[in-house]
Amino acid sequence: MTTREPATESPTEPAAGAAAAPIIEAVGLGRDFVLTEGPFLRRTRRTVSAVQDVSFTVRTGEIVGYLGPNGAGKSSTMKMLTGILTPTAGSVRVAGMEPSRQRTRLAREIGVVFGQRTTLWWDLPLRDSLTLTRHLYRVPAAAHAERLAELTELLELEPFLGTPVRQLSLGQRMRGDLTAALLHAPRLLVLDEPTIGLDVVSKSTIREFLLKINRERGTTILITTHDLGDVERLCDRVMVIDKGRLAFDGGLPELRATVPTPRVLVVDLVAPAPAIEVEGATTVRVDGPRQWLELADNPARVIAEVAREHEVADLTLREPDIEGVVSALYRGTVPAGDRT
Ligand SMILES: Nc1ncnc2c1ncn2[C@@H]1O[C@H](COP(=O)(O)OP(=O)(O)OP(=O)(O)O)[C@@H](O)[C@H]1O
Ligand SMILES: [Mg+2]
């Protein structure tokens, strides 16, 4: 990766080695869309605020998750960071540049993957597609070859380098897209749902790969995902956006603490029975012989008492998962009138 360093001319960059310098700085960032609706002559204009007053800083070396329900404004934010969309309010700087005005130059510093789309050439074998990417980003041939060899090994591309992109499976294509995004050794990787639709094995390959490039090369990663496994495995920090506004910015433990989610004891009784009543727990659901108890107290004591009073076939203790926390947070940030 260092081979390329002298080729970049970035007078606005901080001095090399400036650890934990901000790589993204968004201040009061906003994006409105004006929609024209209704029949001709009675057309009305309505403004949708996709992103409103969003401020955050991402520092070099961080892996930050950008979460939120459908339509929250995640992709719109990502598009403003990469220069595809121009903000209608506030400002954003990425790698010292203004994305919408310096899009081409910024493209040489960042890698972008939108999981829903590919940047590869559909009809070309993956290898040729990746060679074209080299020309696009003006990567010297030797540096390209070296990085391609490295990425081929890490992402196990060898078996399908000669396959036309259109014939690749989703997981293979995603590995190809990640390679294309990283061949020019960007300092920042912006990923919008990179694991969407992938099976468990492919997801895990991609997660481990992302951790590796973050740890070994210090690549900063901003990732949007609906897969909370991605978040738990990858992110030191998460930002939650809801209805265009930033609702949370912090570490996973803090996120968990924001929303009280009790541990749940799942009790399988030998036969159906009325809701279990035991001190330190609340039975929240009964389904045939199975009951769910929310624990307010020491599980060991509750388990002992349940086992003493009832004929138990099986017991499972469920830790609060990040999924529960995030969905509670989404619900919590929605105004009361809108809750379902
Ligand atoms: N080009 C556009 N024109 C009009 N409205 C748009 C446009 N792009 C996005 N929006 C609106 O902005 C809001 C935010 O959309 P965005 O795609 O940023 O959400 P998201 O958080 O990425 O959602 P998802 O999880 O479904 O991908 C939505 O209400 C969407 O309809
Ligand atoms: Mg999106």
The residues with which 180 forms a beta bridge, in sequence order, are: none
Eight-state DSSP code of residue 96: T
pLDDT band per the 50, 70, 90 thresholds, residue 119: confident
Report strand pairing: 220-224 vs 281-287.
Answer: unpaired
Residue 27: phi and psi, rounded to 5, are -130, 115
User: What is the best residue among 32, 35, 48, 114 to mutate for testing ligand 1's pocket, by most ligand atoms within 8 Å of CB?
Assistant: 48
Helix (H, G, I), strand (E, B) or coil at 84: coil
Contacts for 270-278: CB closer than 8 Å, 24+ residues apart? 270/311, 270/312, 270/313, 271/311, 273/310, 276/306, 276/309, 276/310, 278/302, 278/305, 278/306, 278/309
Rounded Cα distance between 30 and 16, Å, is 31
pTM above 0.85, yes or no: no
Give distance in angstroms: CA of 99 to centre of ligand 1. 19
pLDDT at 9 over 90: no
Mean pLDDT lowest among 10-24, 143-157, 242-256? 10-24
Q: Write down the pLDDT at residue 297.
A: 75
Q: Which helix or strand (DSSP H or E) is residue 36 part of?
A: strand 22-37
How confident is the model over 29-76, as pLDDT tens digits? 999 999 888 888 888 889 999 999 999 999 999 999 999 888 999 999
Q: What is the pLDDT of residue 101?
A: 96
* 182 burial level (CB within 10 Å; 0-12, 13-18, 19+): buried
| Interhelix angle 141-154/170-182, nearest 10 degrees | 140
**HSE of 308, CA atoms in CB hemisphere, 13 A:** 8
Banded pLDDT at 258 (limits 50, 70, 90): confident
Q: CA-to-CA distance for 196 and 136, rounded, in angstroms? A: 26
- Which of 29, 37, 74, 230 to probe ligand 1 with, by most ligand atoms within 8 A of CB? 74
Ligand 2 geometric centre to CA of 193 (Å): 8
For 275-328, what is each residue's pLDDT tens digit? 999 999 999 999 999 999 998 878 899 999 999 999 999 999 887 666 667 777
Nearest to 249 by CA among 307, 303, 329: 329
What is the reported pLDDT for 332?
A: 64
Measured from CB, residues less than 6 Å from any atom of ligand 1 are: 33, 35, 48, 50, 68, 70-76
The DSSP string of 132-191 is HHHHHTT--HHHHHHHHHHHHHHTT-GGGTTSBGGGS-HHHHHHHHHHHHHTT--SEEEE
Please check whether residue 75 is in contact with residue 192, taking contact to mean a CB–CB distance below 8 angstroms: yes
Q: Which atom belonging to ligand 1 lies closest to the Cα atom of 241?
A: 21
Tokens 């403004």: give the residue. 47
Nearest to 316 by CA among 285, 293, 283: 293
Say which residues have a Cβ less than 8 Å from residue 89's Cβ, sequence separation at least 6. Answer: 28, 29, 30, 31, 32, 52, 53
Q: Whose CA is nearest to atom 30 of ligand 1?
A: 71
- State the ligand closest to the CA atom of 226: 1
Atom of ligand 1 nearest to the CA of 69: 25
* Strand ranges of the sheet holding 89-94, from the earlier edge strand across to the other edge: 44-59, 22-37, 89-94
**DSSP code for 277:** -
Could you tell me what percent of the chain has a pLDDT over 90? 65
**Cα dist from 106 to 212, 323, 329, whole Å:** 24, 34, 34
Cα Rg for the chain, rounded, in angstroms? 24
126 closest CA partner among 90, 154, 166, 156? 166
Q: What is the pLDDT of residues 182-215, one digit of tens each?
A: 999 999 999 999 998 888 888 999 999 999 999 9
d(CA 81, CA 261): 34
C-alpha 225 – ligand 2 centre gap (Å): 9
Q: Is the pLDDT of residue 81 over 80?
A: yes
Please report the atom of ligand 1 found closest to the CA of residue 85. 1
| Mean pLDDT score of the chain | 87
Neighbours of 283 (CB within 10 A): 16
At 8, is the pLDDT very low, low, confident or very high (cuts 50, 70, 90)? very low
CA atoms within 13 A on the CB side of 183: 26
Beta bridge partners of 92: 26
Start-end of H helices in the chain: 74-82, 103-107, 126-136, 141-154, 170-182, 200-217, 228-234, 252-258, 299-309, 322-333
What is the percent of the chain where pLDDT is above 70?
Answer: 89
pLDDT at 105 over 50: yes
Q: φ and ψ at 50, to 5 degrees?
A: -75, -35
